[in-house]
């Protein structure tokens, strides 16, 4: 399983500051032109797009708490 963060709004300095402030250790993509967001049907942030092993994409708009993330990841890996 691989996590990738995708930044869409703001400028490059805000993106870099966010990654550093939250000490994000997984890869990050600056998607200022919204190519990744468009491909996965993400209309706004925050959102989560999960690509399942069969290629199906599940997109959840809005923030997710720890319990929701645990549930999503559990379903995605079974």
Ordered by start, the domain boundaries in the chain are 5-76
Tokens found for residue 75: 């379903």
* Structure confidence at residue 78 (pLDDT): 67
Better-predicted residue by pLDDT, 72 or 55: 55
Fold of 5-76: Glutaredoxin (3.40.30)
pTM value is: 0.64
Q: Which alpha helices (DSSP H) does the chain contain, by range?
A: 12-21, 35-39, 66-76
Cβ atoms 43, 29 nearer than 8 A: no
Q: What is the pLDDT of residues 1-47, one digit of tens each?
A: 677 888 776 677 887 888 889 888 888 888 888 888 888 888 888 88
């Amino acid at each position: 399983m691989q996590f990738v963060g995708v930044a869409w709004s703001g400028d490059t300095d805000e993106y870099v500051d966010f990654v550093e402030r939250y000490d994000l250790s997984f890869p990050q993509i600056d998607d200022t032109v919204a190519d990744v967001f468009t491909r996965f049907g993400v209309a706004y942030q925050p959102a989560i797009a999960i690509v399942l092993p069969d290629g199906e994409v599940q997109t959840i708009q809005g923030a997710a708490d720890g319990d929701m993330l645990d549930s999503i990841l559990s379903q995605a890996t079974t």
